[in-house]
Chains A and B, each alone.
Chain A
Amino acid sequence: METLDYDVAIVGTGLAGLRTAIEILRRDKGKLGLRVAVISKIYLMRSHSVSAEGGTSAVLYPEEGDSFELMAWDTIKGSDFLADQDAVWRFVHIATQEIRLIERWGVPWNRRDDGRIEQRWFGGLSFPRATYAQDKTGFFEMRALYDTLLKYENWDRFDENFVTSIVIENNEFKGFTAIDLKTGNFRYFRAKAGVIATGGAGQLYRITSMAASSTGDGFGLAYNAGLPLKDMEFVQFHPTGLVPRGILITEAARGEGAYLVNKDGERFMKRYAPSKMELAPRDIVSRAIMKEIMEGRGVYDDKSGLYHVWLDMRHLGKERIEERLPFIREIGLKYLGIDIVNQPLPIRPTVHYNMGGIHVDIDGKVLNASGSPVKGLWAAGEAACVSIHGSNRLGSNGTNDCLVYGYIVGNDVYNYIEKERPASPNLSQNILLGEEDRIFGKILGKESGGEDVYQIKDELKDTMEKYVHVYRTGSDLEKAVIKIKELKERYKYIKLSDKSRTFNYNLEHALELGFMLDQAEVIARGALLRTESRGAHARLDYPNRDDANWLKHTIALKGAEGPLFSYIPVKITMWKPVARVY
């Protein structure tokens, strides 16, 4: 076992993780000699943020009619009034500066003819404020952040190190334990401050737009360490995912004017969101598509056995598609042989984002079960739930959430280390040896049992896809809870075939499956308990929003038999909830 000493350790290197690292190093400039460890279970540029396509919202043109209040209103109404409004107010102000700052660092935003940054329409917005760079916005932002991070000196990269637990003792963060996948060594990162930015958990579902590495490790780590998870039942289904793989077709296609048509060729969105049509927020569009399919107006695809609707972009013209949606055209050609200039694309809702996450306060500090901050631990990006997105995230709000919270958390971490000058944590060896034994002795070295990791994962994915989808019912959710409990029992008897120490993906998948099963249980139980429909959580047996009883956040803690639920109120500081129609 090796012990590595650092001042700050950041787990997860998507937009939020890299932005936090840059902010800490930028503030420091070598004064305190801070050393930052950037840890990721894959290579640094491979994080799923590179697949973000559509855009990043910010108020850049107040002289043309945009305003901070408008952006805050769009975000809060889009979240179905479950967002904490003071956090949203702070967020919209910082987003503007972030867009311009990363432009300085090299992001090639699309421009108007006079050289200023161009913006476009997106779902749920009342003003075209989504800044974009062709249709690979997340990728260009990641490139700029990665390149800028290379400029600094006092940081070390730990690629392909899988973090297995967060060490917290007496409400104080004491480090991360990890496995170096390259050699199989067990490592302990003894850090004075830690940041979790591991992203979402799309791999729980069969059809998802998320990467194979998005297994929600941050959620599982926090849950196992006894930290509360907030609002996990709100899983966003992006309406346009390619059939049958679930690859993301960006919302920008609808922003540029694409139509959603059903089997009869009608633009069915006029029945669900008459004023915004296809540009309604994602949960409304997803529900509309699923309702069309449930009522028999979906198109059947024999090759995959799935029902879908069409996304029609033929009327946009080849030039516009080449300039603004080239990646979508490539995806259509590559995976289905369909050229969107001539034919419509088959699409279906796909899992895309987790609105819920680790319970943090407005500065990004992780809060413990009693609501007070854990000393030295922060979370940023999709892994954290502040919550800004409430029960539904608007399109183009995810990337700026990562950037803004990277900035806020970076500054907060730096202030903490500068003011308090914490000492390197002291930890008894028993905890570390226990953790090492759990992984290498009990999971890797186990000889008994006969369950297969991949078999259990398949069944979990099918269960979640079938029972915890866009439209949920009480009986389906109960079946899901029972099945997940059975899978958790079977998980205790898994046996690994690969016993080597180098690049043992079998072991990594087994540990990830442990995290996934925990979160699946939290999601399914939370969805069962919430007897209303709000935002992305839609129940057929309780179809209306219930502000009197359910205007609160769900908090889930690890208990002996399963998650324990409690509720905390939403911070309403600007607008009271009204009916949400588009």
Chain B
Amino acid sequence: MKVRIRRFDGQKEWWQDYEIDAKPSDTVLDILNRIREKHDHTLAFRQSCQMGSCGSCGMVINGLPALACQTRIGELKTESIRLEPLYNYKVIKDLVVDLTDFVNKHRSVKPWMIRKNPEELEEASMEFQVTPDQNLTFVQFDYCIMCGVCLAACPTVAIDPLFLGPQALGQAYRYIADPRDEGFEERIEVLDDSHGVWRCHFAGACSYVCPKGVDPAKAIQYLKKEILKYRLLHKKKASVKPAELVQKAPPANAPKPPPFDFKIEGGE
């Protein structure tokens, strides 16, 4: 198995080739670890969970951005692998890229729960009442692991460095669609901007490469619909209230632990 990696050491860039043996059930991350441990200690790449839930190992494999720990050699169907750092990011060393812009763009859309009465976020005597169907309207977009692979695939991000990117916009929609959130007006200025939602022209590449099925393209088109509805018709989604407090006595046949051997203060 031939592996060709794009190297960068701060001054010069070059392609380096390695020869490594690999089974079809190995992942690209296994191969990278094997290269680092046996052939070249100076190779730098990020990894953490090795099972596709942390998002550290995003890189471009044979031209498509993907997570290295989820890509098996067998499904690549080739005799040689080409690894590059993610497109549209600044490269720090080898396959490690700079995610500061990515994090800042995410933060600028205010991706947290906003309620009109901020006290409701501080106390918690009862939960909000959200039915399973309401859950479905936004939970898909909450699967985002912030790996940055979508920004590598997006053509608009390649042209415009100030574009918010599918990840930030997807997360803005996740909170706007959440029935518990009431912060649409606070976020709309950042979104309804020339570098916000309107730069996206639905290339769909972000959804195509997303490793967790978040479908940010869908989120952004829905977001455009919400913004148009708000600006033209002044209508927006309703929000839910907390559930009612239930004060019933426990049933008679409830399971009980053995009686206490000692006296405890403040026991019930």
Contacts and interface: CB of A to CB of B under 8 A. Distances in A.
Interface stretch (B14-22, B121-129, B193-201, B227-235): B121-129
Contact of B92 (A42, A144, A150, A503): A503
Contact of A48 (B48, B251, B264): B48
Contacts of A101: 123-124
Given A115-B129, A136-B53, A211-B48, A64 B250 contact: yes
Nearest to B247: A63
Interface stretch (A65-73, A357-365, A535-543): A65-73
Interface string B131-151: 110010011001111100000
B146 A42 contact: no
Contacts of B55: 45-46
B219 to A, nearest CB: 15
B178 interface: yes
A305 to B, nearest CB: 14
A104 B120 contact: yes
Nearest to B246: A63
Interface in B80-108: 92-94, 96, 99, 106-107
Interface in A72-118: 72-74, 89, 97, 100-101, 103-106, 108-117
A70 B128 contact: no
Contacts of A45: 54-55, 145-146
B30 to A, nearest CB: 9
Q: Interface size for chain A: under 10, 10 to 19, 20 to 34, or 35 or more residues?
A: 35 or more
Given A500-B42, A503-B44, A64 B251 contact: yes
Contact of A143 (B47, B127, B142, B250): B142
B268 A46 contact: no
B37 to A, nearest CB: 4
Contacts of A573: 262, 264
Nearest to A53: B53
Contacts of A330: 52
B257 A73 contact: yes
Q: Interface size for chain B: under 10, 10 to 19, 20 to 34, or 35 or more residues?
A: 35 or more
Contacts of A51: 49, 51, 53-54
Contacts of B178: 106
A544 interface: no
Contact of A498 (B41, B124, B268): B41
Contact of A334 (B10, B52, B99, B240): B52
A113 B257 contact: no
B96 A454 contact: no
Given A108-B135, A115-B130, A139-B53, A147 B261 contact: no
A211 B54 contact: yes
A50 B44 contact: no
Interface string A172-199: 0000000000100000000000000000
A62 B120 contact: no
A111 B130 contact: yes
Contacts of A50: 49, 53-54, 145
A104 B50 contact: no
Contacts of B47: 212
Given A51-B54, A65-B251, A572 B36 contact: no
A148 interface: yes
Contacts of B56: 42-43, 46
Interface in A189-218: 211-213
B126 A150 contact: no
B50 A212 contact: yes
B248 interface: yes
A574 B142 contact: no
A576 B262 CA distance: 8
Nearest to B40: A497
B202 interface: no
Nearest to B74: A337
Interface of B: 9-10, 25, 36-38, 41-42, 44, 46-56, 70, 72, 92-94, 96, 99, 106-107, 110-113, 120-132, 135, 138-139, 142-146, 171, 175, 178, 180-181, 240, 243, 246-251, 253-258, 260-262, 264, 267-268
5 contacts: A47-B48, A108-B139, A110-B132, A151-B110, A500-B9
Pairs A-B, 9 closest by C-beta atoms: A73-B257, A65-B254, A115-B129, A100-B124, A63-B248, A101-B124, A497-B41, A454-B37, A498-B42
